């Protein structure tokens, strides 16, 4: 298996310019009112000691991605680099990914799903996704996840001098996120779930219920198909006995 | 199969229209829904075409009981009450069901307008109809606003109801063709010999009506 790739967003460096969003819209040829990158802002404290927390609402590239598991058309797939790709031309817009995502990231609009496509062509050419190459504040990095984690640890250690709750988000969540976040405070402050999870019923539905249902239907077809000739002959015989 | 016999009316016009509207919409719903279950059919779901078809026919499907109530209110009432009421003959009939499955109707206990198998079929169709309609409406109008658990609960119930309906339909088609019963649902009339063999108690009740007013109102010559 090839190495895990991912993003690192240092939320403490983000200047809220939203250039990443615009670059993403241009790269993916989206209209102005469709975006794969949204933001959440949260102020804590009271004047004059106010802290502004910002985070992106964008695909977290979960290692154990429930959207990939639930996608009925194969539009959502895991790349070898473990990024979660979306092929809009295969998407039916069913919105199952939007329903199952623990971060509520995908949006089902215009009969398709909208979520980060991880700039597949660029990444496979060895380039950075456009949001990363555009970021003027160096708040975004792209690369091998292990390397990103190392640099995040250093940065968090420095931040903790000023923000004792500073931490890395995404180390373990959902099997490890491909979108690592450096936070200055607890995840809840940013509106991030502390322990996101995919409901266990998802695996039950896809791995047990659906195959069992299909097997039962198959058994019914076999039983009736095999008995049909005998049963109709028996019936004709009874009618002719009259 | 049956020749030269008198025919008796088994299904009113309203019942037949309701039956075929339900049957057609069911199969359209099944195949448009399967595009989200069988990966090789997925290209048909592209761009939401299958979803549009699924929703249009879901409306047709859910309007069938409304139509039935307007066209033949007594028929609908009878269907519901008969489907959930089983007498001693019905229970005996169910015990001997394997005989019937293999095409042997002689020796089966006498049955009313619906045999016990049809009653169970109708009862389960009514229950799964309600389940699949309600969960479908929640998935349709709650799209994007359901929690993970609400969503999974609804799709799983929708799926389970679908599997039950498909299996019931397979059985329904099997008995229809083993016993040559298709014509009854097309024309509404069944052969009197067929009625005597399969629905003796029902035929007797019609004959009783005949003696009361002197003619058999529900019959015609073949």
The pLDDT mean for chain B works out to: 91
Do the chains contact at B156 and A209, CB–CB below 8 Å? yes
Beta bridge partners of A52: A43
Q: Among the three residues B72, B92, B115, which one is the final residue of a domain in this structure?
A: B72
- Summarised one tens digit per residue, pLDDT across range A102-122 is 999 999 999 999 999 999 999
Do A57 and A83 sit in the same domain of this protein?
yes
Q: Which residue of B has its CA nearest to A67?
A: B148
Do the chains contact at B50 and A92, CB–CB below 8 Å? yes
Q: What is the pLDDT of residue B222?
A: 45
Do the chains contact at A230 and B106, CB–CB below 8 Å? no
Do B62 and B165 sit in the same domain of this protein?
no
Do B59 and B159 sit in the same domain of this protein?
no
* Segment A86-112 mean pLDDT: 94
Cβ neighbours of B37 in A, within 8 Å: 72, 210
Do B19 and B104 sit in the same domain of this protein?
no
* Segment B91-97 mean pLDDT: 96
* A237 exposure class (CB count in 10 Å sphere: 0-12, 13-18, 19+): exposed
Do A85 and A204 sit in the same domain of this protein?
no
The shortest CB-CB distance from B146 to any of A91, A99, A204 is to A99
Do B55 and B100 sit in the same domain of this protein?
no
Residue B92: which CATH number? Answer: 1.20.950.20
Q: Among the three residues B42, B72, B102, which one is the final residue of a domain in this structure?
A: B72
Structural domains in chain A (count): 2
Structural domains in chain B (count): 2
Do the chains contact at B152 and A199, CB–CB below 8 Å? yes
Kindly state the DSSP code that residue B42 receives in the 8-state scheme.
G
* Segment B89-106 mean pLDDT: 95
Do A181 and A204 sit in the same domain of this protein?
no
Do B189 and B133 sit in the same domain of this protein?
yes
Q: Is residue B79 part of a domain?
A: no
- Summarised one tens digit per residue, pLDDT across range A169-221 is 999 999 999 999 999 999 999 999 999 988 889 999 999 999 999 999 999 99
Q: Which residue of A has its CA nearest to B167?
A: A217
Do A50 and A108 sit in the same domain of this protein?
yes
Residue A123: which CATH number? Answer: 3.30.70.20
Q: Is residue B191 part of a domain?
A: yes
Do the chains contact at A102 and B179, CB–CB below 8 Å? no
Do B97 and B197 sit in the same domain of this protein?
yes
Torsion of CA A56, A62, A66, A72, to 10 degrees: 90
How far does the CA of residue A160 sit from the closest CA of chain B (Å)? 35
CB-based contact (8 Å) between B105 and chain A? yes
Give the residue, B26 or B217, on which the prediction is more confident: B26
CB-based contact (8 Å) between A210 and chain B? yes
Kindly state the DSSP code that residue B48 receives in the 8-state scheme.
G
| pLDDT of A27 higher than 80 | yes
CB-based contact (8 Å) between A231 and chain B? yes
The shortest CB-CB distance from B151 to any of A74, A100, A227 is to A100
Which structural domain range is residue A41 located in? 5-190
Do the chains contact at B102 and A230, CB–CB below 8 Å? yes
Q: Which residue of B has its CA nearest to A91?
A: B46
Do the chains contact at B178 and A239, CB–CB below 8 Å? no
Which structural domain range is residue B66 located in? 12-72
Reply yes or no: is the peptide bond before residue A48 cis, omega within 30 of 0.
Answer: yes
Residue B140: pLDDT band by 50, 70, 90 thresholds? very high
Q: Is residue B78 part of a domain?
A: no
Interface test with B, best of A100, A193, A213 (most B CBs within 10 A): A213
Q: Is residue B153 part of a domain?
A: yes
Do A213 and A114 sit in the same domain of this protein?
no
| pLDDT of B218 higher than 70 | no
Do A182 and A218 sit in the same domain of this protein?
no
């Amino acid at each position: 298996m090839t190495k895990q790739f991912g993003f690192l967003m240092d939320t403490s460096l983000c200047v809220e310019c939203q250039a990443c969003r615009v670059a993403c819209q241009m790269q993916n040829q989206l209209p102005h009112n469709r975006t794969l990158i949204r933001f959440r802002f949260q102020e804590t404290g009271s004047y004059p000691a106010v802290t502004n927390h910002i985070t992106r609402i964008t695909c977290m590239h979960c290692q154990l991605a429930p959207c990939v598991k639930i996608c009925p058309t194969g539009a959502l797939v895991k790349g070898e680099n473990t990024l979660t790709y979306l092929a809009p031309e295969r998407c039916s817009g069913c919105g199952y990914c939007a329903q199952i995502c623990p971060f509520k990231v995908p949006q089902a609009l215009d009969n398709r799903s909208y979520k980060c496509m991880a700039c597949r062509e660029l990444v496979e050419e060895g380039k950075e996704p456009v949001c990363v190459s555009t970021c003027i504040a160096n708040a975004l990095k792209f690369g091998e996840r292990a390397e990103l984690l190392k640099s995040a640890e250093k940065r968090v250690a420095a931040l903790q001098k000023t923000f004792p709750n500073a931490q890395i988000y995404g180390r373990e969540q959902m099997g490890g996120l491909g979108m690592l976040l450096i936070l200055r405070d607890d995840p809840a402050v940013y509106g991030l779930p502390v322990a996101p999870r995919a409901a266990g019923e998802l695996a039950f539905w896809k791995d047990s219920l659906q195959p069992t249902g299909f097997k039962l239907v198959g058994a019914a077809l076999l039983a009736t198909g095999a008995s049909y000739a005998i049963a109709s002959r028996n019936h004709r015989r009874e009618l002719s006995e009259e | 199969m049956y020749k030269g016999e008198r025919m008796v009316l088994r299904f009113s016009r309203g019942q037949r229209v309701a039956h075929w509207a339900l049957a057609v919409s069911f199969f359209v719903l099944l195949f448009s829904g399967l595009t989200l279950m069988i990966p090789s059919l997925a290209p048909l779901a592209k761009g939401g075409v299958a979803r549009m078809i699924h929703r249009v026919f879901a409306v047709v499907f859910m309007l069938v009981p409304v139509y039935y109530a307007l066209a033949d209110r007594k028929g609908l009432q009878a269907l519901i009450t008969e489907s959930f009421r089983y007498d001693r003959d019905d229970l005996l009939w169910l015990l001997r069901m394997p005989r019937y499955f293999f095409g042997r109707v002689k020796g089966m206990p006498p049955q009313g307008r619906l045999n016990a198998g049809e009653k169970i079929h109708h009862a389960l169709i009514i229950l799964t109809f309600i389940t699949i309609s309600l969960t479908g409406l929640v998935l349709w109008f709650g799209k994007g606003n359901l929690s993970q658990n609400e969503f999974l609960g609804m799709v799983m119930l929708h799926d389970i109801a679908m599997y039950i309906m498909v299996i019931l339909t397979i059985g329904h088609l099997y008995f229809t063709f083993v016993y040559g019963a298709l014509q009854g649902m097309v024309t509404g009339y069944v052969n009197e010999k067929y009625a005597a063999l399969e629905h003796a108690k029902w035929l007797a009740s019609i004959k009783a009506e005949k003696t009361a007013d002197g003619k058999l109102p529900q019959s015609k010559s073949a």
